[in-house]
Structure 1
């Protein structure tokens, strides 16, 4: 059964840092937002790939961890009551006769909006799944591709697979609450930040964490979706069985423009071309901000995306309020309006 159409002023595709800040900028101009993201939680790559990675170029923060930045952006956007549609992607985008854009998601959600802001980073993301027999039986029960709450891992035996920032960061974090953490990597060198790798090796000298290298995942044991053990092996055929309650395969996310590529937007090398003064695409009413957008001279930084979110919001205002002139005011003068 087709779901009823939900209406809003602005539909934002992508709940990463730039998408979240766009909620704030639109809210400051009294525009309501719905936010759609293909991941299970907000934060995009900051949450899914490197939650504990330090970021040094956010104004006002000499250093902030990625997950903390997302927490603060969520708090900043909260007064404007954004509606989140997570774990689904926008499959269809069409223009209605009344000029609004109609979005339909993979879960059948339908949203009508005056404007659309694409803040999808490098596109829609999906997990890079390891080729293990019976994997789907365990997904969402004891195999997860992102950690929504660290507390969910308290007292459990956790196998973290991977050698990048997300694997190392989560291994360090979960060692504080889990009964045991195993880190499985196919080589003895890690691709994470050197400081984090040093901490990982130091922790491996304790009984809280084991480095299982050079091994790779080879099989799962358990029943009814609950793991009891994870099998690992070397390229030479040496095998080990790790008693485990949870497997976290952190092999990265697979980016793709997905359905966005079929919307007739001008693109260059898998990036959407926009007007740098407004972030509007070649389709009036559709804007692109953050890493997914491009123009001559663009710097691929989060703070650039924040600026684009502000410019897009001001460009969208006359589409939502065609009879209301916008008088620019600093936030220090008008404060945060109460919805």
Structure 2
């Protein structure tokens, strides 16, 4: 047996917020978990893309930064001693002769589990890059597709390109600390929460944000990876240059399910179709929760993913503990390991 072989009750693919909560739900039902994620940290998009972005629809938290949410979820899962396999991708998912599942990762880790929970979010993701000459020379130094620390942009001239929630949200967050914020969009209408757009409009009227509409990115100016200006143009060819130290380009993410697409699951437009009561997929013993799961009436909200984690855990229990009656108990009466 290889030293990288592990046997467990449940293997969870994805260490984002929903995957982390699945550890807790499985743990409350006395099921051990191993968790695999391609990122070298837990948290998924919350950690990789917007750790300092506030989230407003988590019950009990009027506002909580994404990174803080992940910290709390990891703390909540900790009493159940999950084993994390980070920085590796599940490449194979195969049924064993015992009727269990065997996962093999990109670094050779093998996990044998009774059940599998796919909480892979949108799968592998990467930014949609604007088609600008010389773009690569500035990436990571003055051109960014995500904000890890908003303080990195304090006192800088920041150009934000895009018309969705990310562009508007970071405009609101950076307006008070950046020297100047420019927002580039090809039309006056934004695809973002109306309340956020209204707050951005107020900043424009107050002179804290300059709206550059209707313009699109057309070029970059600078040297040695450091921007000095961003060129923009209208569709009829009018051009101008905005003085800039940094460009934040928010044109969405390109999604790739990767090996998941080859596992024989019932895919529906790059999502896995599941049965709502249990989140079961077309493969016995494999469940999908969170953004990757699809069913009629599905809402892509973290809080819905939390509920799906509970549903999947209860559906898995008879597979891990056959013949054992499951008497539902509230956590207030049951408690958690190590709690007083």
Which TM-score bucket, shorter chain as reference?
A: 0.7 to 0.9
Task: Indicate if the aligned counterparts of 1:39 and 1:125 stay in contact, CA closer than 8 A.
Answer: no
Cα offsets for 1:261-302 (capped at 9, x unmatched): 21111234443233444323232332111332234x554353
Cα offsets for 1:230-261 (capped at 9, x unmatched): 22222222222223232211111223433322
TM-score between both structures, scaled by the size of structure 1 = 0.80
- Paired with 1:164 and 1:177, the residues of 2 have a C-alpha distance of 21
1:42 equivalent in structure 2:
43
2:311 equivalent in structure 1:
311
Query: Which deviates more from structure 2 when the two are superposed, residues 270-279 or residues 258-267?
Result: 270-279
The question of 1:5 aligning with 2:4 is answered yes
- Paired with 1:111 and 1:157, the residues of 2 have a C-alpha distance of 48
- Paired with 1:11 and 1:135, the residues of 2 have a C-alpha distance of 40
- Paired with 1:250 and 1:43, the residues of 2 have a C-alpha distance of 18
Task: Indicate if the aligned counterparts of 2:181 and 2:208 stay in contact, CA closer than 8 A.
Answer: yes
Q: CA deviation at 1:323?
A: 9.5
- Root-mean-square deviation (CA, aligned residues, Å) is 3.6
1:190 equivalent in structure 2:
190
- Paired with 2:280 and 2:108, the residues of 1 have a C-alpha distance of 25
1:103 equivalent in structure 2:
104
1:47/1:206 CA distance change after superposition, 3 Å? farther
Structure 1 gap ranges (5+):
none
Q: CA deviation at 1:191?
A: 2.0
2:285 equivalent in structure 1:
285
Task: Indicate if the aligned counterparts of 1:89 and 1:124 stay in contact, CA closer than 8 A.
Answer: no
**Corresponding residue SS for 1:311:** helix
Q: CA deviation at 1:306?
A: 2.1
1:182/1:286 CA distance change after superposition, 3 Å? same
- Paired with 1:71 and 1:127, the residues of 2 have a C-alpha distance of 25
Query: Which deviates more from structure 2 when the two are superposed, residues 186-195 or residues 326-335?
Result: 326-335
2:265 equivalent in structure 1:
265
1:117 equivalent in structure 2:
117
**Corresponding residue SS for 2:76:** helix
Task: Indicate if the aligned counterparts of 2:203 and 2:209 stay in contact, CA closer than 8 A.
Answer: yes
Structure 2 gap ranges (5+):
none
2:34 equivalent in structure 1:
33
- Paired with 2:19 and 2:195, the residues of 1 have a C-alpha distance of 30
- Paired with 1:326 and 1:142, the residues of 2 have a C-alpha distance of 55
2:213 equivalent in structure 1:
213
1:271/1:231 CA distance change after superposition, 3 Å? same
TM-score between both structures, scaled by the size of structure 2 = 0.79
1:251 equivalent in structure 2:
251
Q: CA deviation at 1:211?
A: 1.5
- Paired with 2:244 and 2:130, the residues of 1 have a C-alpha distance of 17
- Paired with 2:41 and 2:185, the residues of 1 have a C-alpha distance of 25
- Paired with 1:316 and 1:52, the residues of 2 have a C-alpha distance of 33
Q: CA deviation at 1:131?
A: 0.8
- Paired with 1:72 and 1:120, the residues of 2 have a C-alpha distance of 20
- Paired with 1:153 and 1:80, the residues of 2 have a C-alpha distance of 39
